[in-house]
Each structure stands twice: as structure tokens, then as C-alpha cells.
């Protein structure tokens, strides 16, 4: 009887240990997968290399993720969760502080996301991921820059939102930091000045070109 009780008491521990091991394996696979997808064209990513880097067999990788597209989606989601955790989900008390956090993420991961964007037209799985990224960034801007959007509605709201989205987009960071080769301090200052210069009230439609009406 005592042996049976001891065996039963050990069973939850073994189950917990297996679950922890499985979770650690998944983490290693996702981290390795993101490194490969973020630094290579989709067609050049090899599942066997990801498995080897994570210390598992290709069979283990397939059992967990089934396909290359599914692994890509999971790896992008893993990356996205880290990005979300790095951006406070509340209105910014200070525009400069909000932009500093944003530029932190762009400086660290901007090149990887640019690589993804360069492939979205030919790889449907990547297009789904980049569209999800755009939706998240829109939500982040709406929340972070809520004071700059306050009191606006309809077309005025959408135009103001579009202006802030344009100023904070990854491609704006690329233009300033990589193409124009400006230092980070001046790049952040330019974006902050664009946002701060937006008029406080509704934007008169007559002053806007037809493309944003």
C-alpha cells in the first residue's frame, strides 16, 4: 500500500516534468525558427537546420508544428508576444518616451521585419503575419496617441490616425535611419515634431488632397 501511494504521488511530478520539458523544447524551436526566418529568404529556411539548432529531431519538429508555414506562424506569434510586452498598452504620458520605446524595438528587430515585408507578396503565410503586425501597430497607435486623437471622429479621426501611423511606421524608421543615415536622436526628434505639429482640432477637408479623403 505504501509503495502504491508513493507511486501515485510521483505521477503528477513526472507529468509536470514532461510538460516543462515539452514547453522548453517548443521555446527552443520557436526561437531557432525566428532566427532563421528573420535572416533568410523563406525558400532557404531548412527545417532540419532549425531542428538541429534546437537540439531535436526533424520528426519532433513535424509532430509539433506539422508544416513550414505552421512553424513560421508560430514563430512570428512568439516574436509578436515579445514585441507586445515591450510596448505599454496605455496612452503615453510623453510622446518622446513613447517614441523611444518604439525605436528600441525598431533598432533591435527592424531589419528582420523588413525582410519579412520584402517577401509578403510571394509567401501567403508571411502576408498573413505582416497583416497581423499592421493591425497590432494600428491598435498601439490608437491607444498610445489617444490624446492626439481625442475629440475627432469620422474622416478627421482617420486622417489624424493615418498621419501618426505614417510617422511611426517601420518604413519611416528605415528612411530616417538607414536611407538618410540620421542618428537615432535626430530621427526620434523628427517623428516627435511631426506628431506634435498636427493641428489640435478637426482637419479641414479642403486642405487635404483627394487621396486621403
- Our CA angle for 108, 109, 111, nearest 5°, is 110
Contacts with 195 (C-beta within 8 Å, 6 or more apart), sequence order: 95, 145, 148, 163, 164, 167, 168
Distance CA 169, CA 162 (A): 10
* Cα-only R_g, the chain: 23
CATH topology classification for 1-82:
Arc Repressor Mutant, subunit A (1.10.10)
Per-residue pLDDT tens digits for 87-140: 776 787 789 999 999 999 999 999 999 999 999 999 998 999 899 999 999 999
- pLDDT of residue 141 exceeding 90, the answer is yes
Q: Per-residue pLDDT averaged across 185-197, rounded?
A: 96
Domain boundaries, the chain: 1-82, 86-213
Per-residue pLDDT tens digits for 43-60: 999 999 999 999 999 999
Tally of residues, the chain: 213
pTM above 0.95, yes or no: no
Report DSSP state, residue 135. Answer: H
Rounded to the nearest angstrom, the gap between the alpha carbon of residue 198 and the centroid of all alpha carbons in its chain is 27
Cβ-defined contacts of 38-45 (< 8 Å, 24+): 38/79, 38/109, 38/112, 38/115, 38/116, 39/112, 39/115, 41/115, 41/119, 42/72, 42/119, 42/123, 42/125, 42/126
Report DSSP state, residue 205. Answer: G
Amino acid at each position: 500500500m505504501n509503495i502504491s501511494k508513493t507511486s501515485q504521488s510521483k505521477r503528477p511530478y513526472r507529468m509536470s516534468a514532461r510538460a516543462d520539458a515539452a514547453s522548453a523544447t517548443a521555446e527552443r524551436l520557436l526561437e531557432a525558427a525566428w532566427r532563421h526566418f528573420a535572416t533568410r529568404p523563406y525558400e532557404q529556411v531548412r527545417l532540419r537546420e532549425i531542428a538541429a539548432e534546437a537540439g531535436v529531431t526533424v520528426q519532433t519538429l513535424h509532430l509539433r508544428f506539422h508544416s513550414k508555414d505552421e512553424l513560421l506562424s508560430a514563430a512570428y506569434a512568439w516574436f509578436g508576444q515579445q514585441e507586445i510586452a515591450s510596448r505599454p498598452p496605455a496612452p503615453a504620458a510623453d510622446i518622446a518616451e513613447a517614441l523611444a520605446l518604439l525605436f528600441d524595438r525598431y533598432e533591435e528587430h527592424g531589419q528582420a521585419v523588413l525582410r519579412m515585408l520584402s517577401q509578403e507578396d510571394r509567401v501567403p503565410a508571411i502576408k498573413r503575419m505582416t497583416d497581423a503586425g499592421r493591425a497590432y501597430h494600428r491598435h498601439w497607435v490608437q491607444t498610445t496617441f489617444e490624446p492626439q486623437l481625442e475629440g475627432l471622429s469620422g474622416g478627421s479621426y482617420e486622417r489624424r490616425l493615418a498621419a501618426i501611423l505614417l510617422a511611426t511606421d517601420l518604413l519611416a524608421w528605415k528612411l530616417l535611419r538607414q536611407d538618410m543615415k540620421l542618428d537615432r536622436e535626430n530621427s526620434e526628434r523628427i517623428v516627435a515634431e511631426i506628431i506634435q505639429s498636427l493641428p489640435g482640432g478637426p482637419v479641414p477637408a479642403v486642405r487635404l488632397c483627394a487621396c486621403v479623403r
